[in-house]
Amino acid sequence: MLNISRNSVGKQLDLNKFKSSTHVFNKEYYRHFNRFLLAFAIVCFIILFLPWTQNISGRGQVTTLTLDQRPQTIQSPIPGRIEKWFVREGDSVKKGDTIMKISEIKSEYFDPNLVERTAKQRDAKAFAVESYQAKVKAQDVRIGALNNELKLKLKQAENKLVQSKLKVQSDSIDFKAAKTNNDIASTKLKRAEDLYSDGFVALKNVEDARLKLQETQAKLISQEAKLLASKNDVINAQVEISRVSAEYSDKISKAQSDKFSAQSSQFDTEAQVNKLENEYSNYKMRNSLQYVTAPQDGYINKALRGGLGQTFKEGESLVGIMPVKVDLAVETFVRPLDLPLIHIGEKVRVQFDGWPAIVFSGWPNVSYGTYGAKVVAIENFISDNGKFRVLLAPDKEDHEWPKDLRAGSGAYTLALLEDVPIWYELWRQLNGFPPNYYQPQTTSKTAKK
């Protein structure tokens, strides 16, 4: 019956006569299965022509949309030692609440009255500035008095010079008169001698004329001496003017030098006052920094420095804080090959870790548990992981994101692209081609305008 022997039974015996052989050899096996395979092949062929939405998938995490809402650590701008904690991990704090108290570890700030002593030094220097200002004003008064006295002295010397010049003129006139009288007396003497030699006058007349000539000569010499003395007085008056000018110029210069010295000391003291004022402000601000406060409303996540008495450097993180009100967003990363396909404002589907979801990447309309988002920022420089960072914000037209979502949670994103047949997508995937390059509708409309 199995036809495994060389002596075939079917050639010698007609098996169709028997009812059992009819049921065995003429029966159609796997009829339903073959129909199922045919129907399945037809369905698969039809599915190949169904639309499939191309997408770009990526992994990322939940973050915040604005920088001031992201989790942060609180640092101390000064080095110190932890003295007391005012909060515990998980506590809610308001802006300005005290988190911890620290103390100084540098010896130059150990003095508890450092601020008050610096203020006293500043006030003392300020009084010194006022003293120098008064000295400068006194020197200004002295310079003004010296200038007035110089004017009066010069006026007096000039008057004396004028008097001397007038006396020179008077003595010059007298000298000329004496000279004229001397010439007349000489002429008279000569005339008397001529007359005496001719016998017309007596000898007494000649002697009288000679005596008169001697008197006029003596008077001429006296007037000449007076004239020279008057000229000498003029020279002395000019010398006195020069002396007064030089004397008071020296006095005024000395007063101005004292004034400039006082001003220099004043400016130097003012600089010291400003320096002390700066130190006072710095010390006062430094004292206020001994209390570490919350920069904004939030929750204390984790104390990065615990215990009491521990020292730390400036800028070292002490405690982490999470803001209360945050605008959640998702940062995801895409390959450089897919970056030209991402545009601002495109819609993206997001699946969050911890929230059940049934995702059909090619059929977003039938996916369950995903949330809508839009692209709000695209990084222009590649990240350390070799991909480009894309920031997503919630889509207001879609349902809201979970309220219990926290920053730092993982997220799986699907950026939706063009609709293509399934057979094309399979062919693209098998050949390793990128998704179709396209432009969003908003961009094309803008280009047409």
Three-state DSSP class for residue 144: helix
Residues contacting residue 443 through CB under 8 Å, at least 6 positions apart: 343
> What pLDDT sits at residue 16?
67
Instruction: Tell me the whole-structure pTM to 2 decimals.
Output: 0.54
Instruction: List, for residues 86-113, the tens digit of each pLDDT value.
Output: 998 888 899 989 999 998 888 888 888 8
> What pLDDT sits at residue 362?
52
Letter string b/e over residues 10-26, b meaning 16 or more CB atoms within 10 A of that residue's CB: eeeeeeeeeeeeeeeee
Letter string b/e over residues 253-287, b meaning 16 or more CB atoms within 10 A of that residue's CB: eebeebbeebeebbeebbebbeebeebbeebeebe
Place of tokens 């092949």: 41
Hey, what domains does the chain have and what are their CATH numbers? Answer: 1-47 (no CATH), 53-69+326-448 (2.40.30.170), 72-104+290-322 (2.40.50.100), 114-288 (1.10.287.620)
Task: Tell me which residue of 404, 410, 400, 416 sits closest to 352, measured CA to CA.
Answer: 410
Task: Tell me which residue of 397, 394, 388 sits closest to 374, measured CA to CA.
Answer: 394
Regions of the chain with pLDDT less than 50: 1, 366, 443-449
| Cα 293–Cα 296–Cα 297 angle in degrees, nearest 5 | 110
CB 251 within 8 A of CB 145: no
- From CA 217, how far away is CA 222, in angstroms rounded? 9
Task: Tell me which residue of 124, 121, 120, 103 sits closest to 112, measured CA to CA.
Answer: 103
